[in-house]
Structure 1
């Protein structure tokens, strides 16, 4: 054993180079241990001041200092971040701001989920580093600083580092020529590490992120971990034995892999215990019966109608008698001579379990009361009120012993992460399934009626294989912060790119779900600034939106002008998406693209409707330049503000999107969407909107160059034309018709593709409107066509749009004049999309009609105190827009209060006007 220790020490000294001088933030130390000691003392001195920061974790100072590795990682707000930023900026060869130009980018966030880095340590939500690499490469240059304010396990830090790994870049499907990276033959980015700052409110998240982004000697780790496992097996081998079933009288022992436990219920008829496994499970038939009979009295039973059976026992960990659900072992899976077997527990197994239950644990383990919350209180009803109740006693013994040993290893933090990686799958929350594809139920505290007692040693051996695949070659280019993103210790205009996957409403109760991990650390999430919707925290959508606004305000402050933020969104609720979008725009960000994942195609398409949040979304936004902001403020009230905004916004948008001979319409370049973005920026920044939609339609195509229903800057047109000539077709934009606006866009798309008659459109239109919201008073097809499009009735020449379509698709009209009788016959009664001038005339007429409709709602509201049940959302939008322009904020609020709350919260335009009107009125 002494020789083993000597070899480990020698290996550690050789590979970790403990005696090698290190220079950190301008200070040179004899070795890394001296560095850590110095900065730990400095952190101790700074703690009283740092504690004033929002989100400072809950825990003792010594626990925070022990867990930290300053100045790179602190289990609290990191006071050295700006020092690193200064050093990094000195190292970096500055790129002139005028040279920086990037376009919105979307990528499949499922990319790389089988990579060892992804597999090593689980977490509730986790974006693979490969996916984040694509974003970082698109938006940054080598040496740029990337920030993630909701970093979870720190994959953004891993991704930033791997941007300098040529093989990792090639694994993404990109090609290399020296330092240049190419995507489908097009120059895409440059090879080179990016620096990163990652932050999370949760101590366990930032700790996992630290271990993923800190140099570790993997060989030394493997040897040490194996030694610890050998020590545990030697000490606790007696707990994992079971008698192997043999024909002869000789007793042989197998090694337990896992034990299946079953809930016990009470028969409502005879009051006898009902072992769920014995009554409902048919192993040979591979099924679990929903209906079964009591083996005692024969009455028919169903699990969801049964009461659980409870038992009372003494809990020495809390020195109390507790009442918990009765559970019994029903199946043991074990290994004997390299073969697997299964058996029912026998007397030996039952006596062993009893002996384990009576074993007094000498090493510390978490025995505190579970935090009260929406999720963490779920187990109270079965008597599992404290952290240790979630663990089988056998696993608690092993984990406790191992945790004590690992805490003694000061210079190998990866051991700590290796241990915590197993701390959820070794609980009673591990669900048994007959197909053996067992797992925990993510996002909740749930003890299934059939759960699997994973043997902790077995699982640790499995996780050791995952961790052994991690890279040893890591530079300390990632700084880790633990605290709230609503108060960051980062100087303004210092970050080059931000990637975030924030909490989305009530999807996950992060601080509650992390409590079981953090109870082992002794440091807990301060959930006061936690941006979630939670009943237990008294946080509704309003509080969630305000908290997200505070975070985005900080992101806006620290991001450089003209740089990008990517927000990954995975919630199915429109109201949560609208809150995110509202928060982003309120602080000053300009949304340039929202793309939804088409899971069938595995690609992203731009979307404009909030109903698309039923898919995975990627939101691309940028921080506008100081020059633009200044010009708009100086010209408030003038139409110049519109064109100042549009000029910079068009510069940010992609010029051409196409693949394999097919081009996509860039929806963000269409006049309607440009108008919406312009209005949103003006309203969110308290600037008057100086043009109507009708005037905008005319002016936008006069000031900028139109192509295929989109508009471009003069310096972009040549590039577009050059690429456009190489493709034959436009792909259809993905649309989900849910209201009048999306119905009009659907019609526009159909008619841009080919002019059609009402009879041609009607069948498909009726299919598309099946998902219209209940409150939506959708006009008939005829009215939508009359208000938004033009009909050729045979009077005068055939409009160019119809003529070009006919010449392209009908042989007998090719080369004919637009006045030709044959062409007119084929063109008659076809609807088509008008040119901008005529479109503006239609817009004016439609707006008058919508405002008349809005006034009728005002009259209805004045007569009755009831909420409006059915209405044209477009009329409400038009009315709100006019009221905003007239500064009639109270009118907006009055109408908003009479709309169903769901409608306001799920419509981005209505929410924008309503929220800002309330702000103007001081409500």
Structure 2
């Protein structure tokens, strides 16, 4: 296959370009042709009615767009893209991969990564290995939450990576026993609901003549200096310099005497930190900052022409450079005159004045107390004049690619150019905004906007020598679309080969709110209704977030080819959000094959759930089963054979072994109970009752599949694991975190399996496990009850059970060689609890289940809204039984009796409940 980055159909004239098989005389002709088609589309109400369509005029959307490669609205050329670059699904084509971990700390210092900031970014160098692993050159990659477009950069990097990088990857893969990757570009679709995100993604992924860009940039900055340089000029005696930033301080009123207090002069200590108490310079009252009253002044807003209030701010410090030396001083009369002169200038006609919508950050905190209402409130007059002047000049640039790149470097600096830039005298930086939030400090650092913008130019210049800079003829194989991930129109079912995505993490970041600042300058705004986040202001809690994510994952499942993989990078410390992601994935049909931390440490479910466990960013590897598995399930129904068919298929997708730092690790997804959970989710998702009880499944698994170190394997896999195991210094150990009754039973099973013990021996060991990690609302069971319901105790009669005999013979010298009926052995074994063999554990399980269901009946009869304490095992058993009986009403009724966070923080309960809601809605 031809290199996708220079794919053409034989054009040989210098300026000719080919796009989607059409040859144009030049780029301008190509752009004009597709812009005309897009303009016609925008007039169609049905086109504008698409899910996630941004808020903006036709003119603003067209100005941002560069069709067909990028549209600031749903991209109508995705079908054409797939017809041109994609390959139809072929069920006969062999494809097999194991899940692969991603280390997203890789590449964060790379110039490409740092070229433009975004709220969350996975570096392209961290994505490249995954694309190489799961795909081959020519395979289509999708990122439905594309953000700044790093997945597209990574897909193209596979074709232009430097020799040194290729050698490093190939060496690492060879050491891990893997075949060398197949280098070459992968065509990519990038989609995001945010217009500013897709605009950044497009600029990252499409051609730029850096030499022409720098030439235009230098011309514009020369003009800016001529027209606006006087705003930052300093004349300090014999020194002539240039302002780096001006500090503005808020003015407060003393609550005791009503005198004005200049925050900068009276609230900072000698190190530049805010004092615990502030002494009023007028009445000597000792005051805390919260006791001070912010002073306001009434103005005629130049942007809205309406009377309003704004905080009183005074310039208190000028930081400037003269002859390469930095100086700080109080503002002079000249400085103040310049500030007044700028304030008296006409309001820029191209500056945005739109009002902030209702959002979390305007309801609370400093945005509320400082009465920020409109976009232009975030900019002091000097900054607003320079930014507006810069944009006016950029709009006159003829080269569209250069024009768009110049726009990018400006929006990169919007926050730094605004009053969100804090003066921080105690820090080494001196000034910086608070990331991830709109926060207006009492001390604002008004930056030199000309220098800020010039600094962004240098970011791109530094990339000139990288493979990204040298490979900037790329971009023909990356299409970018602005739409909801829940409906990516134009992508046929089963047409994408691999998905790498980094979705929103609950309420960690308010993306559309933060992007409102930048998007206002473009005039194209994110549709917040379909944004998948937790946002109380917009009425989106965890359940709403889960449903939005489920809709997005359902779309990903639809477009992904059967048997192919999706990698989800996820970052959130809240168990409820993590569960929402897992349940949403399983509800739509994906099967989770591995959950890894970003430094490639595998995470158990208990680790992910335990409040006292170290929380790290996660990588979730899931696959879409091939169509044959669903077909066989449809033919057999809820039969045990269907369960074992799923297990057979699932084990084939899991890694045979994992190593870290030379040590063999447990492959958590091969744990018997984890496999059972995946099987249950599979049947529930397909609206079938679960055909096997836990013990029937565990016994069947042990009989049907080879077991090693607590893990299940296919017969053809176990030989490979045995080889790895023989080379390892020690057997892998699975960590167990006790946080509820189920994990307590698992811990006891592991403990007693190695060391059959009396109650007195096990009690202190067990008690140490019941620390701060115990789940809220979960009733703590008595150890005696756990032992009686799940294990056997030797009463001294009959022969000593083999489990106890083996342990005593191995650990007590005086008992070695004794027969099972020897009185000395029986005496030592008496009252020891041990793990029953499979034949007896099945009977115990049935007895335990009857007890759990009896208690579940009691829960059903409890009056009132909430169950304050309960046993999760009782709820799980009851929900499972009710599901099998299609008694969805009972599941929903009990779910409403327990606290919402308890439901959201348990993956199993959430799965039953969500499916019950879906079935009830379908039957209504």
TM-score with structure 2 setting the length: 0.91
Q: CA deviation at 1:734?
A: 4.2
In the alignment, which residue of structure 2 is the partner of 1:427?
418
Aligned 8 A contact 1:53 1:77 in 2:
yes
Q: Of the candidates 599, 605, 608, which is equivalent to residue 607 of structure 1?
A: 605
The structure with higher relative contact order (CA 8 Å, sep 6+) is: 2
Secondary structure in 1 matching 2:486: coil
In the alignment, which residue of structure 2 is the partner of 1:625?
626
Task: Pick closer, same or farther for the CA change 1:761–1:464 going to 2, 3 Å.
Answer: farther
Q: CA deviation at 1:856?
A: 2.6
Q: CA deviation at 1:222?
A: 2.2
Q: CA deviation at 1:704?
A: 1.8
Secondary structure in 2 matching 1:356: helix
Secondary structure in 2 matching 1:432: strand
Aligned 8 A contact 1:138 1:189 in 2:
yes
- Deviation larger for 458-467 or 642-651: 458-467
Secondary structure in 1 matching 2:49: coil
Aligned 8 A contact 1:18 1:32 in 2:
no
Task: Pick closer, same or farther for the CA change 1:192–1:251 going to 2, 3 Å.
Answer: same
Quote the Cα distance in structure 2 between the aligned partners of 1:728 and 1:803: 27
Q: CA deviation at 1:604?
A: 3.9
Per-residue CA distance 1:512-543 (angstroms, 9 max, x = gap)? 21111011111111222222233333333333
Quote the Cα distance in structure 1 between the aligned partners of 2:245 and 2:692: 70
Quote the Cα distance in structure 2 between the aligned partners of 1:882 and 1:225: 68
- Deviation larger for 182-191 or 155-164: 182-191
- Structure 2 unaligned regions, length at least 5: 1-11
Aligned 8 A contact 1:174 1:184 in 2:
no
Task: Pick closer, same or farther for the CA change 1:29–1:796 going to 2, 3 Å.
Answer: farther
Quote the Cα distance in structure 2 between the aligned partners of 1:241 and 1:808: 86
In the alignment, which residue of structure 2 is the partner of 1:371?
357
Q: CA deviation at 1:86?
A: 1.8
Per-residue CA distance 1:113-140 (angstroms, 9 max, x = gap)? 2211221111122222222223323322
- Deviation larger for 320-329 or 101-110: 101-110
In the alignment, which residue of structure 1 is the partner of 2:331?
345
Q: CA deviation at 1:571?
A: 1.9
Q: Of the candidates 61, 64, 73, which is equivalent to residue 70 of structure 2?
A: 73
Secondary structure in 2 matching 1:281: coil
In the alignment, which residue of structure 1 is the partner of 2:243?
256
Q: CA deviation at 1:806?
A: 7.0
- Deviation larger for 802-811 or 421-430: 802-811
Matches within 5 A, 1:645-656: 645-656=646-657
Q: CA deviation at 1:804?
A: 6.6
Q: Of the candidates 146, 156, 162, which is equivalent to residue 167 of structure 1?
A: 162
- Deviation larger for 147-156 or 125-134: 125-134
Quote the Cα distance in structure 2 between the aligned partners of 1:21 and 1:292: 69
Does residue 850 of the first structure (1) align with residue 852 of the second (2)? Answer: yes
Does residue 282 of the first structure (1) align with residue 257 of the second (2)? Answer: no
TM-score with structure 1 setting the length: 0.91
Q: Of the candidates 180, 185, 205, which is equivalent to residue 193 of structure 1?
A: 185
Per-residue CA distance 1:454-478 (angstroms, 9 max, x = gap)? 2112222222221213323132221
In the alignment, which residue of structure 2 is the partner of 1:917?
916
Task: Pick closer, same or farther for the CA change 1:870–1:465 going to 2, 3 Å.
Answer: same
In the alignment, which residue of structure 2 is the partner of 1:113?
108
In the alignment, which residue of structure 2 is the partner of 1:497?
498
Secondary structure in 1 matching 2:595: strand
Per-residue CA distance 1:64-92 (angstroms, 9 max, x = gap)? 122211111111111111212122236x9
Quote the Cα distance in structure 1 between the aligned partners of 2:805 and 2:159: 54
In the alignment, which residue of structure 2 is the partner of 1:772?
774
Q: Of the candidates 140, 145, 148, which is equivalent to residue 135 of structure 2?
A: 140
Quote the Cα distance in structure 2 between the aligned partners of 1:406 and 1:888: 64
Per-residue CA distance 1:541-580 (angstroms, 9 max, x = gap)? 3332222222111111100001111222212222222222
Note the aligned Cα RMSD (angstroms).
Answer: 2.8
Quote the Cα distance in structure 1 between the aligned partners of 2:716 and 2:768: 42
Secondary structure in 1 matching 2:96: coil
Aligned 8 A contact 2:255 2:291 in 1:
no
Q: How many residues align?
A: 891
Secondary structure in 1 matching 2:360: coil
Aligned 8 A contact 1:605 1:733 in 2:
no
Task: Pick closer, same or farther for the CA change 1:895–1:210 going to 2, 3 Å.
Answer: same
Q: CA deviation at 1:724?
A: 1.4
Task: Pick closer, same or farther for the CA change 1:912–1:605 going to 2, 3 Å.
Answer: closer
Quote the Cα distance in structure 1 between the aligned partners of 2:132 and 2:759: 48
In the alignment, which residue of structure 2 is the partner of 1:479?
479
Does residue 319 of the first structure (1) align with residue 305 of the second (2)? Answer: yes
Per-residue CA distance 1:758-799 (angstroms, 9 max, x = gap)? 555433432332221231112122332343344566767776
Q: Of the candidates 30, 51, 74, which is equivalent to residue 54 of structure 1?
A: 51
Task: Pick closer, same or farther for the CA change 1:786–1:132 going to 2, 3 Å.
Answer: farther
In the alignment, which residue of structure 1 is the partner of 2:434?
441
Aligned 8 A contact 1:732 1:749 in 2:
no
Quote the Cα distance in structure 2 between the aligned partners of 1:104 and 1:605: 14
In the alignment, which residue of structure 2 is the partner of 1:9?
none
Q: CA deviation at 1:305?
A: 2.2
In the alignment, which residue of structure 1 is the partner of 2:644?
643
Q: Of the candidates 69, 85, 89, which is equivalent to residue 88 of structure 1?
A: 85
Matches within 5 A, 1:445-844: 445-470=438-463, 471-472=468-469, 473-474=471-472, 475-476=474-475, 477-489=477-489, 490-597=491-598, 603-608=601-606, 611=609, 614-751=615-752, 758-770=759-771, 771-791=773-793, 831-844=833-846
- Deviation larger for 416-425 or 464-473: 464-473
Aligned 8 A contact 1:487 1:551 in 2:
yes
In the alignment, which residue of structure 1 is the partner of 2:401?
411
Quote the Cα distance in structure 1 between the aligned partners of 2:166 and 2:291: 53
- Deviation larger for 130-139 or 205-214: 130-139
Per-residue CA distance 1:830-871 (angstroms, 9 max, x = gap)? 655444334333322322222222223234x1xx22421111
Task: Pick closer, same or farther for the CA change 1:768–1:466 going to 2, 3 Å.
Answer: farther
In the alignment, which residue of structure 2 is the partner of 1:3?
none
Per-residue CA distance 1:139-165 (angstroms, 9 max, x = gap)? 222221111111110111111112234
